């Protein structure tokens, strides 16, 4: 346990308050995993926490719900007063919270048994709801009745599925049934809360586990209906041994653990369902699915209030993922880098490699891996910098050329020259080339 966490507990204890580490960090320690955040529950009231820790208080936004956030070194530590929650509103939040001195009452309100354990150095592990056994048995189970827990906060549907994927645990049978029956409650939640859980699913070691559960429970039909249409879809292709959804899951698992790349993998073939054409030999073709998929990804991410820059990156990756030509010169690669953007080009090749891996056994990926290495070398050239040409339209006009079509023509000519030979990308040389071509 980090010293900063122990320090907070000891300080609260010195003021005669009970305090425990609680929730996911306790679960992760039991699993021998490194926790990524720490929550502390205590008998101290919010005003007492603020008084005790003074300048260490980072945030009091959640004070009315009993939560104060401290910043100690590199840790942001949430401290929450023992509390009982009233009836929930709109399947997402309690009408009010009531502070209590009972740790048991506080643990009773938590979502899953594996998250309802508490620990401090003096008392050891406190496990009132058999969370330790459920960890040993690899089970996600609610504290109390699963229907009640889901109706309190419908986000617990996604949290259960996400945890099952992150930990590779099974969802307890009754909870699984309630997820299916109550999945439409997710429509009442904000898009931001849903996307936050989707982000965590996609950033897990193997997103396909949770995504498969989403498909099986039809949760996917509620939150990503266009993706759900790919479930069970036959591609009718000799180059694909998997159904479409299984192929998508494979690609998501095989790209690098970067969120924009994982979303691009999730959406890259989403429009195959709407572009299938079967030829006279019974072979499926999907003309334009890349461009339509990019537009679909844009629409979906916009609906989830995603930032424009983030959407643009996913859009480009999906739109360009079919550009895996067998032969490409350095000039063609430089052009591709410029078109895709140096910030996206390596991600694009990661997507193309994963896409190819997930088709049929034995597909050649060596040429893509070698090309990716060559691109890394080309990224060091001046043609890959933000300013592609070291000359502007104003520079061209200063040579006596009139504003208009001719300026664009000259810049295009110079661009082609630099794509062939980046060493020409000096202003003096570019001026010489322009004069030689258009003044001779």
Buried b (16+ CB within 10 A) or exposed e, 362-390: eeeeeebeebbeebeebbeeebbeeebbb
Domain contains 394: yes
Alpha carbon distance 422, 159 (integer Å): 51
Residues 78 and 64 in one domain: yes
Residues 244 and 324 in one domain: yes
Give the domain range for residue 158.
Answer: 138-223
The pair phi, psi for residue 20, each rounded to 5°, is -145, 145
The pLDDT score that the predictor gives to residue 325 is 82
Residues 303 and 197 in one domain: no
pTM of the model: 0.86
- Using CA atoms in the order 421, 422, 428, 429, what is the torsion angle rounded to 10 degrees? 0
Residues 65 and 152 in one domain: no
Angstrom CA distances, 153 to 87, 96, 159, 419, stand at 10, 14, 10, 56
The pLDDT score that the predictor gives to residue 61 is 92
Strands 57-59 and 38-42: unpaired
Residues 277 and 291 in one domain: yes
Residues 410 and 364 in one domain: no
Residue 251 near residue 354 (C-beta atoms within 8 A) = yes
Half-sphere exposure of 224 (CA within 13 A, CB side): 26
The pLDDT score that the predictor gives to residue 87 is 63
Domain contains 274: yes
Strands 277-278 and 284-285: antiparallel
Strands 170-171 and 139-140: parallel
Q: Find, among 325, 247, 238, the residue nearest to 278 by Cα.
A: 238
The pLDDT score that the predictor gives to residue 85 is 76
Residues 60 and 124 in one domain: yes
The pLDDT score that the predictor gives to residue 387 is 56
**End residue of a domain, out of 184, 199, 223:** 223
**Structural domain count of the chain:** 4
Strands 118-120 and 124-126: antiparallel
Write out the chain's pLDDT in tens, 440 residues.
889 999 999 999 999 999 999 999 999 999 999 887 899 999 999 999 999 999 999 999 999 889 999 999 989 999 999 998 756 666 566 677 899 999 999 999 899 999 999 999 999 999 999 999 999 999 999 999 999 999 999 999 999 999 999 999 999 999 999 999 999 999 999 999 999 999 999 999 999 999 999 999 999 999 999 999 999 999 999 989 999 999 999 999 999 999 999 999 999 999 999 999 999 999 999 999 999 999 999 999 999 999 999 999 999 999 999 998 888 999 899 889 988 999 999 999 999 999 999 999 988 999 999 999 999 998 887 544 445 778 888 888 888 888 888 888 888 888 888 888 888 888 888 888 888 888 76
Alpha carbon distance 37, 74 (integer Å): 11
Residues 262 and 294 in one domain: yes
The domain that holds 160 is classified in CATH as 1.10.110.30
**End residue of a domain, out of 137, 154, 170:** 137
DSSP H/E element including 57: strand 57-59
Residues 340 and 414 in one domain: no
The domain that holds 125 is classified in CATH as 3.30.460.10
Residues 336 and 265 in one domain: yes
Domain contains 303: yes
């Amino acid at each position: 346990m980090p010293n900063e966490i122990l320090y907070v507990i000891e300080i609260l204890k010195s003021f005669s308050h009970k305090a425990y580490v609680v929730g996911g960090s306790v679960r992760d320690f039991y699993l021998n995993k490194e926790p990524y955040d720490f929550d502390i529950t205590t008998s101290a009231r919010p005003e007492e926490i603020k008084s005790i820790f003074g300048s260490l208080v980072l945030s009091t936004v959640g004070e009315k719900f009993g939560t104060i956030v401290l910043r100690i070194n590199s840790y942001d530590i949430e401290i929450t007063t023992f509390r009982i929650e009233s009836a929930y509103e709109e399947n997402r939040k309690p009408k009010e919270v009531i502070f209590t001195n009972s740790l048991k009452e506080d643990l009773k309100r938590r979502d899953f048994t594996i998250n309802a354990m508490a620990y401090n150095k003096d008392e050891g592990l406190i496990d009132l709801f058999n969370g330790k056994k459920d960890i040993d048995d690899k089970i996600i189970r609610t504290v109390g009745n699963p229907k009640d827990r889901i109706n309190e906060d419908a986000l617990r549907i996604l949290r259960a599925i996400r945890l099952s994927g992150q930990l590779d645990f099974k969802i307890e049978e009754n909870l699984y049934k309630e997820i299916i029956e109550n999945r439409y409650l997710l429509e009442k939640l904000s898009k931001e809360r849903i996307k936050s859980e989707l982000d965590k699913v996609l950033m897990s070691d193997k997103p396909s586990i949770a995504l498969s559960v989403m498909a099986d429970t039809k949760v996917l039909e509620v939150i990503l209906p266009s993706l759900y249409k790919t479930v069970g879809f036959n591609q009718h292709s000799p180059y694909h041994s998997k159904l479409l959804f299984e192929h998508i899951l494979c690609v998501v698992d095989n790209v690098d653990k970067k969120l924009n790349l994982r979303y691009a993998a999730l959406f890259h073939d989403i429009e195959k369902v709407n572009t299938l054409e079967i030829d006279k030999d019974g072979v499926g073709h999907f003309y334009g699915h890349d461009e339509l998929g990019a537009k679909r990804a844009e629409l979906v991410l916009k609906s989830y209030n995603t930032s424009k820059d983030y959407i643009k990156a996913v859009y480009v990756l999906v739109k360009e993922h079919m550009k895996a030509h067998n032969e490409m010169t350095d000039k063609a690669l430089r052009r591709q880098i410029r078109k895709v953007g140096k910030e996206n080009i390596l991600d694009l090749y990661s997507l193309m490699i994963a896409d190819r891996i997930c088709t049929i056994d034995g597909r050649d990926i060596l040429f893509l891996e070698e090309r990716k290495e060559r691109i890394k070398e080309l990224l060091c050239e001046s043609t890959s910098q933000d300013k592609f040409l070291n000359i502007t339209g104003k520079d061209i006009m200063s040579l006596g050329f009139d504003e208009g079509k001719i300026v664009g023509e000259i810049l295009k000519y110079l661009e082609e020259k630099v794509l062939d030979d980046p060493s020409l990308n000096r202003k003096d040389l570019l001026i010489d080339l322009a004069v030689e071509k258009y003044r001779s």
